[in-house]
Amino acid sequence: MKRKNLIIVCLLILCFFHLSANCKREDKTSTTEKYSRFKPGQLWTDEDGVPIQSHFGSVFYDDGVYYWVGQNYIGGPTIPRGSFPNQPFTWNFNTGISIYSSTDLYNWKLKNIVLNETSFEPQSLLQPLNLIGRVNIIKNDMTGKYILMGVLLSPDFLTINDVVYAISDSPVGPFEFKGKLKWKNAPNLTEDIWDSEKLTGKRDSPERIRGWDMELFKDEDNRAYLIVGHGANYIYELSDDYTSVLKGALMEGVEGEAPAMIKDNNTYYIFESQLTGYQANSNTYFTSDNIWGPWEPRGKFARGKNEETTFESQVAHVFPLVNCPGKFIFISGKYNEVSGGDILDLQEIKHIWLPLDIDRKSKSVQVNWRDEWTLDELE
């Protein structure tokens, strides 16, 4: 009976906010803007004049086009923490994953919203309250398939806490949802080790592919890796078709969450946020000459206004510019948080894009604040 009542409440909330969100979308499509420069932390709209919905996402390049993928918040409510049992953070209903395309990185066109078909059926992983976050897409050059991978979480972070994936013949979908990522083509560990980790300090076994903040990284030899971080960080090498894990290990020396990885001049860099929920902190980075480590902590990288809180934001992704070797763009999300667990409106999260500068001799990194900038400044 309790489950039936919860379903009815969820349906009523969904209907109400679907109508109100549609009204908001119509209001915001009245004007459009053509961009020729980046303005970090300010409102950024797509070619239809709608605020870009690619939260907790990433950027990848394919055949002359950049794609920006992330969570879509339009069409669902902002749900204060504590609205559902054991819900520690502000939440929203699953309204899908947005995929945008661009050839200049300034102006983005919404191409598709995928994995937004949810079900209350008990056997369905894509429940209305289960969110897919930290989404990455990479292309498998051997199969020609595009692999979308993200973390699937329930509001309590316990009922569902897994890495899931989907496959498509196109970078913009449709994507066929395949379910949980497997360990050597077999289901990963299902017992809940998280309780023992919290109570005793024991870490997960690598075979338990936990669905915390994640990143996909494709190396120059086309081998692909999954990095999962929540305090301790784990790295997993994916199978040749990128649909299963071959092996995994603890990343010695790396701590934090929201991992983002790049490689430059044979050095690997990984960027992390500290564990403060939505509350901004001083993000840090680590370096290694081997993707399996060991890793050297290097301290903070933000410089300028609000550098102690990484510009009042949290790292989301770092990606290379295809036509500018050795040049990278740092992406973070700026939250209007009430506390470490609450933000007023998930739709108000702003995107921050800034150049990432690497000193190859010292292997040191800086991200300097700029009120606005252009790609021409990187050449």
Query: Mind listing the pLDDT tens digit for each residue in 249-263?
Result: 889 999 999 999 999
Residues 6+ apart with CB under 8 A from 3: none
**Predicted confidence (pLDDT) per residue in 296-344, tens digit:** 999 999 999 999 999 999 999 999 999 899 999 999 999 999 999 999 9
Question: What one-character DSSP code corresponds to residue 347?
Answer: G
* Tokens found for residue 330: 């740092």
Report the pLDDT value the prediction gives residue 1, as an integer from 0 to 100. Answer: 43
Give residue 211's pLDDT. Answer: 87
What's the average model confidence in pLDDT over 127-156?
A: 97
Asked if 347 and 335 touch (Cβ cutoff 8 Å), the reply is no
The two most distant CA atoms of the chain are separated, in Å, by 65
Q: What is the 3-state secondary structure (H, E, C) of 41-101?
A: CCCCECCCCCECCCEEEEEEEECCEEEEEEECCCCCCEECCCCCCCCCCCEECCCCEEEEE
Q: How far is CA 354 from CA 40, 55, 119, 217, 377, in A?
A: 7, 16, 39, 20, 11
Domains and their CATH numbers in the chain: 44-378 (2.115.10.20)
Judge whether residue 142 has pLDDT over 60: yes
Q: How many CB atoms lie within 10 A of CB 340?
A: 16
Per-residue pLDDT, 158: 86
Do 100 and 135 contact (CB within 8 A), yes or no? no
Q: Six-digit token pair at 82?
A: 């504590």
Question: In whole numbers, what is the pLDDT of the chain averaged over residues?
Answer: 89
- pLDDT tens for 178-196 read 999 988 877 665 554 444 4
